[in-house]
Structure 1
Amino acid sequence: MVLHENSIGQVFLLPLNLRDFIPDNHICFFIEELVSRYDFGDLHSKYADTPGKKAYSRRMLARNILMGQIDGIKSGRKLEKAIHENVVYMYLSGMKKPKYRTLINFRNENEELMEEMLAITVRE
């Protein structure tokens, strides 16, 4: 019997596209398209040209929270863990790593928006 090579820790010559690891019919692509349709101008302008650390994209936060709601993830800490470990969440976050407080604060500040988007995912 021939064994596959143990390739853990293998370095790749070319960078990989995370999308290649996700099935074509995965719901994350619908979420990506849905969130891209919304106008986040007011939410983005709230953080533009303000002092302090750079704020995360409101679209990125919405995509991950919506995906978490669909997957039944209610805890901010579990959502943060998924963003660090799950390729779908890595894709939706663009490899950014927001902390659980950032995710929860966004969700709490935009409850109506998130409920509206979740309702659309159920209808469509």
Structure 2
Amino acid sequence: MRRSYARSSRGSYHPKMLTKVIIYAYAQRIYSSRQIAKSVRENIIFMWIAGRQRPDFRTINRFRSERMKEVLEKIFTAVLQFYWKRT
């Protein structure tokens, strides 16, 4: 899996970081990859979660649609179940 991230000349982003950014974005009701990328550039909480890295919208979209679609669905479901158990 990590080999597929090493193709770009700019380097790669760690899958854990991208997963955290996407989950937080969904929790904030931000679903658009362009809006997520904008938030990573402009929102201090997103900057902290991303470790000051700035993946573009193509990277975010590719990651969640091609690489991690099934995993993200399971993680997001688990997060929602955890949330609903606490409330």
Larger radius of gyration between Structure 1 and Structure 2: 1
Larger RCO (CA within 8 A; separation ≥ 6)? 1
Shift of residue 70, structure 1, vs aligned partner: 1.1
What's the TM-score, normalizing by structure 1? 0.59
SS at match of 2:13: coil
Q: Which runs of 4+ in 1 moved over 3 A?
A: 45-48
CA RMSD of aligned residues (A): 1.6
What per-residue deviation string (whole Å, max 9, x for no partner) do you get for residues 58-101 of structure 1? 11111111111111111111101111111111111000001001
Partner Cα distance (2:8, 2:36) in 1? 27
Shift of residue 45, structure 1, vs aligned partner: 4.5
When residues 66 and 53 of structure 1 are mapped into structure 2, their CA distance, relative to the original with a 3 A threshold, is: same
The residue identity in structure 1 corresponding to 2:60 is: L
Gaps in structure 1 of 5+ consecutive residues: 1-42
What's the TM-score, normalizing by structure 2? 0.82
Count, aligned residues: 81
Alignment of 1:83 with 2:40, yes or no, is yes
Aligned-residue sequence identity (percent) comes to: 27
- Residues 40-79 of structure 1: pairs in structure 2 closer than 5 A: 43-47=1-5, 52-79=9-36
- Residues 85-100 of structure 1: pairs in structure 2 closer than 5 A: 85-100=42-57
